[in-house]
């Protein structure tokens, strides 16, 4: 019971931060992804853009939003906790490191849910015809968010300074989306980049999100890949996070 | 045995039990060694016992190993070797259990700028297993005691450095832990705020808490402590009550005076065994402006460490 209360307190502390600084969140989770959707539609070249393309761009924007909130924004918060001594304050308390991490992940999940739902509403306003498989979409969003959060935890744990860490999270937050073929077809990529991009979590996530937006739940392979990456990144992040110095 | 005699025996037994309890060490440190990965030995075999209800201050020059010692006590830093027991709990092996009995103010810790003072206290009360109602009541009580009552609903980002420091002390007090470990709690506070913190600390000690704190203020150590530990070079040079530390000084009278031709220079300080010896020195040197006094804690510190104490100096990190 104490673990749950502690994790909820950590969640609420970070939520208060979101409440006070909603502007950057709205920019990262909603405005930029929406702008990217509109940009991708505009430069797609076709007079009448197909529903499939629209869904791909929407899936890309949802993954963009997830990446910006889970890697850039959350990474920034974790770095701030570490380098401004807030993590030290948590470490003085009888709070298990796992409660802190679960609280942070809960916060990231709340952001991911808020961002995804709002983007779906925006898509409806923009006349994107989607037949959403909600449960499958929820699963993909959850696993993608966890996997990307794992990357944030690793960076926040390993960065030698705040500026180094925030530069990394910012680059990775945007780079993971632009390296994955989410706003363009994989064939349009140079061969070397294509080889890399097919192993990125955002590639699997975008493919899975697009599938769920078209009403299908055939996302087993993508989910499995994302789950494996989640286990890898989160367990490494847990391992690297220093709650207690040696 | 008459009723009176049996009551007397019972009362004596209770008194001796209480004395034993007070004498029992609540913090027991044995052979504490901390060697960092770069080879620096910050603590070199510290042994120290702190009894229930005691106030112990830790003094030492910058880099002496005070903060390293306290960070190991609070389980933040893992010792290279040695034992730390907090109320009988092995703090090295079971840090979470040990922390349940401690209120900790680290030397450098950040607060959450977007939270209000009340939210800080309430959340930390919840972390310390208080109910919502208890945490709320404690938040108001502690804020009042620390002179933060008027700011209770203000965001911490709008408060001064001294007010933030008092919040950190308040967070340690939440949940009334039986042991407080405070690393330079009053550094950066103005004299009035320092007095209010001292008052709070005296109150918690009167309620039975034990306090271990490091400080850069001699006056603070003299006024608050039952025993004073002096650490230098990672070793415990002395650990005793103020009276017993004074008794170590063979020459307990000090004369200090400045060079009349260079009044801004460092003052000369000389020590003497008796008052008359000190007076003779003053007469012999024909000093017109001087101070003759009994030795202070600062003199003991100087005798032991060979360094002058720098009141309110910047915090150390080692």
Q: Do residues B112 and B105 make contact, with C-beta atoms less than 8 angstroms apart?
A: no
Paired tokens of B45: 């075999």
Q: What's the rounded mean pLDDT across residues A146-175? A: 94
- Distance, in Å, from the CA atom of B115 to the CA atom of B135, rounded to the nearest integer, reads 15
SS3 for chain A is CHHHHHHHHHHHHHHHHHHHCHHHHHHHHHHHHHHHHHHHHHHCCCCCCCHHHHHHHHHHHHHHHHHHHHHHHHHHHHHHHHHCCHHHHHHCCCCCHHHHHHHHHHHHHHHHHHHHHHHHHHHHHCCCCCCCCHHHHHHHHHHHHHHHHHHHHHHHHHCCCHHHHHHHHHHHHHHHHHHCCCCCCHHHCCHHHHHHHCCCHHHHHHHHHHHHHCCCCCCHHHHHHHHHHHHHHHHHHHHHCCCCEC
Name the closest residue on chain A to residue B96, using Cα atoms.
Answer: A94
> Is B119 at the interface with chain A, CB within 8 A?
yes
Task: Specify the pairing of strand B81-86 against strand B89-90.
Answer: antiparallel
Q: Which of A6, A12, A245 sits opposite B78 (nearest CB)?
A: A245
A164 has a pLDDT exceeding 60? yes
Q: Which of B94, B117, B123 to mutate to test the interface with A (most CBs of A within 10 A)?
A: B123
Residues of B in contact with A21 (CB under 8 A): 114
Residues of B in contact with A1 (CB under 8 A): none
List of residues 6+ apart from B181 with CB closer than 8 A: B70, B73, B74, B102, B103, B104, B105, B172, B211, B212, B213
| Burial of residue B140, with CB atoms counted within 10 A of its CB: 0-12 exposed, 13-18 middle, 19 or more buried | middle
A113 has a pLDDT exceeding 60? yes
DSSP class of residue B207 equals T
A73 min Cα distance to partner chain B (Å): 16
B 83-102: CB under 8 A from A:
95-97, 99-100, 102
Among A43-57, A75-89, B54-68, the least confident range: A43-57
pLDDT of residue B313: 40
Nearest Cα to Cα of residue B297 among B201, B214, B228: B228
Instruction: Tell me how many degrees the CA angle A190-A191-A193 measures, rounded to the nearest 5.
Output: 70
Paired tokens of B312: 């309110």
Answer positive or negative: Cα dihedral of A122, A124, A126, A131.
positive
Neighbouring CB atoms inside 10 A of A135's CB total 10
DSSP class of residue B150 equals G
For chain B, the structural domain boundaries read 250-294
Would the CB atoms of B104 and A94 count as touching at under 8 Å?
no
Paired tokens of B227: 């025993």
Answer positive or negative: Cα dihedral of A44, A45, A51, A52.
negative
Q: Do residues B231 and B59 make contact, with C-beta atoms less than 8 angstroms apart?
A: yes
Q: Identify the bridge partners of residue B77 per DSSP, sorted by sequence position.
A: A245
List of residues 6+ apart from B135 with CB closer than 8 A: B121, B122, B123, B124, B125, B126, B174
For chain A, the structural domain boundaries read 2-240
Q: Which of A21, A89, A95 sits opposite B110 (nearest CB)?
A: A89
| Burial of residue A132, with CB atoms counted within 10 A of its CB: 0-12 exposed, 13-18 middle, 19 or more buried | middle
- Distance, in Å, from the CA atom of B136 to the CA atom of A37, rounded to the nearest integer, reads 47
Helix (H, G, I), strand (E, B) or coil at B289: coil
Q: Give, rounded to a whole angstrom, the gap between the first and last alpha carbons of chain B.
A: 62
- Distance, in Å, from the CA atom of B207 to the CA atom of B194, rounded to the nearest integer, reads 20
pLDDT of residue A145: 95
Q: How confident is the prediction along chain B (318 residues), in pLDDT tens digits per residue?
A: 455 555 556 555 555 555 554 467 899 999 999 999 888 889 999 999 999 999 999 998 888 899 999 999 999 999 999 999 999 999 999 999 999 999 999 988 889 999 999 999 999 999 999 999 999 999 999 999 999 999 999 999 999 989 999 999 999 999 999 999 999 999 888 888 899 999 999 999 999 999 999 998 888 998 999 999 999 889 998 999 988 888 877 788 889 888 877 777 788 888 888 888 999 999 998 888 888 888 778 788 877 776 655 544 433 333
pLDDT of residue A43: 85
Answer positive or negative: Cα dihedral of A12, A14, A17, A21.
negative
Name the closest residue on chain A to residue B94, using Cα atoms.
Answer: A94
DSSP class of residue B81 equals E
SS3 for A36-105 is HHHHHHHHCCCCCCCHHHHHHHHHHHHHHHHHHHHHHHHHHHHHHHHHCCHHHHHHCCCCCHHHHHHHHH
A159 alpha-carbon distance from chain centroid: 19
Residues of A in contact with B128 (CB under 8 A): 93-94
DSSP class of residue B188 equals T
Nearest Cα to Cα of residue A60 among A185, A237, A241, A161: A185
- Distance, in Å, from the CA atom of B262 to the CA atom of B282, rounded to the nearest integer, reads 18
List of residues 6+ apart from A62 with CB closer than 8 A: A33, A115, A116, A119, A120, A141, A209
Would the CB atoms of B96 and A94 count as touching at under 8 Å?
yes
pLDDT of residue B136: 96
Paired tokens of B160: 């001064």
- Distance, in Å, from the CA atom of A9 to the CA atom of B112, rounded to the nearest integer, reads 13
DSSP class of residue B115 equals S
Beta strands (DSSP E) in B36-146 are 41-51, 55-59, 81-86, 89-90, 102-105
């Amino acid at each position: 019971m104490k673990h749950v209360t502690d994790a909820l307190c950590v969640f609420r502390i970070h939520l208060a931060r979101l409440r006070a600084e909603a502007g950057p969140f709205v920019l990262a989770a909603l405005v930029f992804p929406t702008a990217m959707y509109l940009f991708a539609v505009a430069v797609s070249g076709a007079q009448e853009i197909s529903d499939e393309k629209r869904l791909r761009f929407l899936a890309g924007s949802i993954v963009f939003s997830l990446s910006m909130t889970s890697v850039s924004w959350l990474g920034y918060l974790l770095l701030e906790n570490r380098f401004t001594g807030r993590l030290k304050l948590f470490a003085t308390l009888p709070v298990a490191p796992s409660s802190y991490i679960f609280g942070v992940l809960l916060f990231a999940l709340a952001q991911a849910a808020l961002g995804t739902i709002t983007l779906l509403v925006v898509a409806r306003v923009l006349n994107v015809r989607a037949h959403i498989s909600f449960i499958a979409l929820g699963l993909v969003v959850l696993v993608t968010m966890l996997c990307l959060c794992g990357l944030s935890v690793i960076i926040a744990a390993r960065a030698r300074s705040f500026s180094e860490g925030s530069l990394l999270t910012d680059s990775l937050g945007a780079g993971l989306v632009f390296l994955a073929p989410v706003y363009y077809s994989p064939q349009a990529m140079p061969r070397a980049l294509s080889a890399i991009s097919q192993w990125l979590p955002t590639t699997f996530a975008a493919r899975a999100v697009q599938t769920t937006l078209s009403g299908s739940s055939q996302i087993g392979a993508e989910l499995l890949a994302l789950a494996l990456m989640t286990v890898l990144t989160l367990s490494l992040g847990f391992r690297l996070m220093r709650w207690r110095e040696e | 045995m008459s009723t009176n005699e049996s009551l007397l025996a019972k009362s004596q037994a209770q008194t001796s039990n209480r004395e034993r309890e007070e004498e029992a060490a609540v913090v027991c440190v044995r052979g504490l060694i901390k060697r960092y990965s770069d080879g620096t030995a910050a603590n070199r075999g510290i042994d120290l016992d702190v009894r229930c209800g005691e106030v112990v201050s830790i003094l030492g020059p910058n880099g002496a190993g005070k903060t390293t010692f306290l960070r190991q006590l609070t389980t933040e830093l893992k010792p290279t070797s040695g034992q730390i027991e907090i109320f009988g709990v092995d703090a090295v092996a079971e840090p979470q259990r040990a922390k349940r009995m401690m209120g900790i103010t680290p030397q450098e810790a950040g607060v959450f700028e977007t939270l209000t003072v009340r939210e800080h206290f309430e959340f930390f009360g919840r972390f310390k297993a208080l109910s919502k109602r208890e945490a709320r009541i404690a938040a108001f009580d502690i804020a009042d005691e620390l002179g933060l009552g008027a700011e209770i609903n203000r965001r911490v980002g709008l408060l001064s450095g001294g007010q933030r420091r008092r919040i950190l002390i308040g967070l340690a007090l939440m949940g009334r832990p039986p042991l407080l470990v405070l690393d330079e709690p009053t550094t950066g506070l103005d004299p009035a705020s320092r007095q209010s913190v001292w008052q709070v600390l005296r109150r918690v000690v009167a309620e039975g808490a034990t306090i271990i704190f490091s400080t850069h203020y001699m006056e603070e150590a003299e006024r608050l402590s039952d025993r004073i530990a002096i650490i230098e070079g990672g070793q415990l040079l002395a650990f005793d009550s103020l009276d017993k530390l004074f008794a170590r000084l063979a020459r307990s009278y000090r004369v200090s005076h400045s060079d009349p031709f260079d009044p801004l220079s460092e003052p000369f300080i000389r020590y003497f065994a008796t008052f008359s010896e000190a007076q003779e020195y003053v007469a012999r040197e024909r000093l017109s402006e001087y101070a003759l006094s009994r030795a202070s804690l600062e003199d003991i510190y100087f005798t032991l460490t060979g360094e002058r104490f720098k009141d309110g100096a910047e915090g150390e990190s080692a």
